Chain A
Amino acid sequence: MYLTMGLDIKIPIGLMFTIFGVLLTIFGLFTNNDPALYMPSLGININLWSGLLMTVFGAIFLYFGIRSRKLNKK
């Protein structure tokens, strides 16, 4: 039959959140000395923290996605 429609959604999810995560982490690092930007978020560099969290989240999905792709090939 169609199996999983030939696409494993884990990989796009992993890829997108890794991109979001890296983007926000870098943006957070560059804007770390900008207290005005982080006034609304109570002085917390929310970009940096969300970015790191999302990178980890994306990486986990990528890991499982790539692993099941390898298993399928075997």
Chain B
Amino acid sequence: MTAGFSLSWIDYTIMIVYFVFVLGIGWALKRYMKDANAFLEAGRSMPAWVAGLAFISTNLGALEVMGMTGSGAKYGMLTTHFYWIGAIPAMVFLALFMMPFYYGSKARSVPEYLKLRYDEKTRGLNAILFAVMTILASGISMYALAILMEKVLGWNFHLSLILSAAVVLAYTYLGGLSSAIYNEVLQFFIIVIGLLPIVFLSLKDLGGWSGMQEQLAPIVQAKGFAADTWTTTWKYTGAAKANPMGVEWYGIFAGLGFVLSFGYWCTNFLIVQRAMSAKSTTAARNTPLIGALPKMFIPFLIIVPGIAALVLMNSPGKGFSLPLNNTGQPIYDYTIIMLLRQYLPAGVLGLGITALLASFMSGMAGNVSAFNTVWTYDIYQSYIRPVTGNKPVDDKHYLKVGRLSTIFGVVISIAAAYLASLFGNIMDFLQTIFSMINAPLFAVIFLGMFWKRTTGHAAFTGLLAGFFIALLHHGFTFPEGADTLVKGGWIVKTFAYPVEMAQNFWTAIFAFTTSTVVTVALSLMTRKLKSDEELKGLVYSLTPKLKEGDVVWFKRSSTLAILVLTIASALTILFW
């Protein structure tokens, strides 16, 4: 499809050096993997900065990088809502108010927290859903990357799929969660440094930020929006029609800023696991805050080049275009790689491609290392082979199960990748299901942590009710122009949202509200089965308050939180 995008020896050399280091880290950690705790929980030994960068790197998977650059072209700086309002408040909340319970309860996973706080059935439901969804997500991201490599670099689809899966398997099998985390830190730096040249070159090409704004004006006006819509964030959110996202400010605020982001950042074990691997309560609380610092600036790395790409697409002299799909629409997900191709000569090009591979690997390793923990502790240890009490035997046994489930997870991911290649809609499907599961989960965990009266029966029913309402909402509404039932309206088409995103926001809001109401009502009606003593360390009002007096002031979570919120507010005002 795209001739002339060939890599030279220097590009391959860089890629090979990267692979050597990634595998080397796994190899170096192999001898420390003596039991399941070391393998699945990194022995709870990570310094805060390592866990913090891994925290953000797991989230910076290939789908995120490709998707967000594409959104930069489609929606402009409005995309930063996913980063500033849509991540920072949730990350700060997780750090300050939730990590003390996740970490302090000694739970080894989010499902296990549910078991300690509520009961077995709530844990079981969450663990099984999480295991299935995580593996599907991992497979879909593998598929996305392999198809990109095939279309743009001309690499063999099957070969790139199997090869990259094999590398991820090798280093997570050898070094477990520690290896995944250490590699995520390495990958974080490669993604940043590898993509910096395109930020610099694309902006320079267009005459800097102001030059880009000038050239954007006519393009955006032709689409029927105000001239500066693509370079502002909140200015045109007074009415849904005034901005390309098609959402009003309160939809963004409640849907993205509250339900979706808290549902994702505060309950997703994939993310929380990184903070749980930290070496102390303070380090665990600081993990999301340290992650938040780079998170706020990632828009400049991946959204800004996307905006530049929109200008380039509309400037015939630049010779830039996106590949088209079957219906003749540009494939926005390919924006990032087309920019690499536009600006980078041999050498840094290899680094840019390596950055994409790194983002893919950090996402996939994150999925696999979260999957094997939930599988080993919450499913296998709970239902298949409980702890026998003979510690040396148990340690060895669960380490083996952890390792085997890593292989199993990767193999199922590969199968899911092929499934994704058969059904194009599977990604939409998965995202929809995710938003239906996460929002009720947040309601239930939040109520559990801050209201001691919440009961297990209520939580379990609340989870199901929230999911059920989300399903119904999705069944009755649809985004305008939807061509498949995966996008909604599969029961009766009653209400049309202007865009898909608005529908997603409202699905999550409905699910969260229902789940909260049901859980609260049933908690008041059912008997509290756990004593206050049992709930110590799990519920806010029954846990001794944390004192930060003995921590140096600049390492205190409160100091970091203020810093994070100040920078986020400053950025929001700057790009209002």
Please list the residues of chain A having a beta carbon within 8 angstroms of any beta carbon in chain B: 1-7, 9, 12-13, 15-17, 19-20, 23-24, 27-28, 31, 37-42, 44, 46-47, 50-51, 53-54, 57
Contact = CB atoms under 8 A, between A and B. Distances in A.
A47 B25 contact: no
Contact of A24 (B38, B43, B50, B348): B348
Could you tell me the dominant secondary structure of chain B's interface residues?
helix
Given A12-B21, A13-B185, A5 B43 contact: yes
B420 to A, nearest CB: 32
A27 B10 contact: yes
B189 A46 contact: no
Interface residues of B, number: 39
A41 B348 CA distance: 10
Nearest to B43: A2
A16 B204 contact: no
B17 A9 contact: no
Contact of A42 (B17, B45, B201, B351): B201
Contact of B189 (A17, A38, A42): A17
Interface of B: 10, 13-14, 17-18, 21, 24-25, 28-29, 31-32, 38, 42-47, 50, 178, 182, 185-186, 189, 193, 196-197, 201, 204-205, 342-348, 351
Given A23-B10, A42-B205, A47-B348, A5 B193 contact: no
Contacts of B50: 9
Contacts of B182: 5, 7, 9, 12
B201 A13 contact: no
Nearest to A7: B28
B21 A5 contact: no
15 contacts: A2-B32, A2-B43, A3-B45, A6-B31, A6-B32, A9-B182, A9-B186, A12-B21, A13-B189, A23-B17, A28-B347, A40-B343, A42-B204, A47-B347, A54-B193
A40 B345 CA distance: 7
State the 7 A-B residue pairs at the shortest beta-carbon distance, nearest first: A2-B43, A47-B347, A2-B45, A5-B178, A16-B21, A9-B182, A37-B345
Contacts of B186: 9, 12-13, 16
B45 A5 contact: yes
